[in-house]
Structure 1
């Protein structure tokens, strides 16, 4: 069972969040470490109506950690959305990312968006999906968390 599937059934059917069952891995997640990770999501999906692949990457990361018996604490994984990816956080009913974002939030992931990017895209706070945190800027979020010792993963 994967980390996200333990919430209430599979997060999504493969390939979303899918991991390959490999043997002989050289470097694996270390259960003695605290995994505090921020994902910078800046790219839009290749096609309208598709789940953003960088959000899927967060799901895969959690599943890989779960494989080694690690469950990050609530708030220890942050997604900061900016640039072309900014519309993924809107609450529009035709947004294919809403269900995945909700499941990530259920799993303790903080999903944030850059206020500068919201302004640039003409998106108001009222248009955001439930539970989206608005940060002053993605750059300051990334710099602050990295200076505090967080790992940064980019798309």
Structure 2
């Protein structure tokens, strides 16, 4: 009887600690809130190698964090909550078109802390040099560690041809 009680107690503790460990698994704190649903289908797979490039083109309303860029944080948090280790995910966010100003290193840019948090989580933030030219931005105008690519078209097609998944906003 005592043995059955201890087995039940151990199972309960393990279930409780596993559930709470998943709730706490966050790759990008303060951004990309998620709401895991028990029993939902098609969960992140810890056995997969995630190679995903996000095409970020939507502009953000003035003074607001870019929703498409925050989607990258949400994706990372979903992976983390599903037990995918950070080293199993290669993520690139390519900023171009109307979204180009979100990587400008200006004091009132609400995206700078999100960009830094994504970079801390291992995400490469890239900017299309063609979009930079059209927006009249120079390398010195960009947030720290933003990679300048020849073009978003080149980056997106190169990575897709190498087997990466592409997520459009």
Unaligned runs of 5+ in 1: 6-10
Give the TM-score, by structure 2 length: 0.83
> How big is the shift at 1:75?
7.4
Does residue 160 of structure 2 align to residue 154 of structure 1? no
The answer to whether the Cα contact below 8 Å between 1:82 and 1:117 also exists between their aligned partners in 2 is yes
Structure with bigger gyration radius: 2
Name the residue aligned to 1:92: 106
Name the residue aligned to 1:135: 149
Does residue 27 of structure 2 align to residue 4 of structure 1? yes
The structure with more helix, counted as a fraction of residues: 2
Deviations 1:74-103 (A, max 9, x none): 871000000000001110011000001001
Greater relative contact order structure (CA < 8 Å, 6+ sep): 1
The answer to whether the Cα contact below 8 Å between 1:98 and 1:129 also exists between their aligned partners in 2 is yes
Runs of at least 4 residues off by over 4 Å: none
> How big is the shift at 1:71?
2.5
Q: Let me know the Cα RMSD of the aligned residues.
A: 1.4
The separation in 2 between residues aligned to 1:80 and 1:128, in whole angstroms, is 14
Give the TM-score, by structure 1 length: 0.90
Name the residue aligned to 1:8: none
Give secondary structure in 1 for the equivalent of 2:116.
helix
Q: How many equivalent pairs are there? A: 146
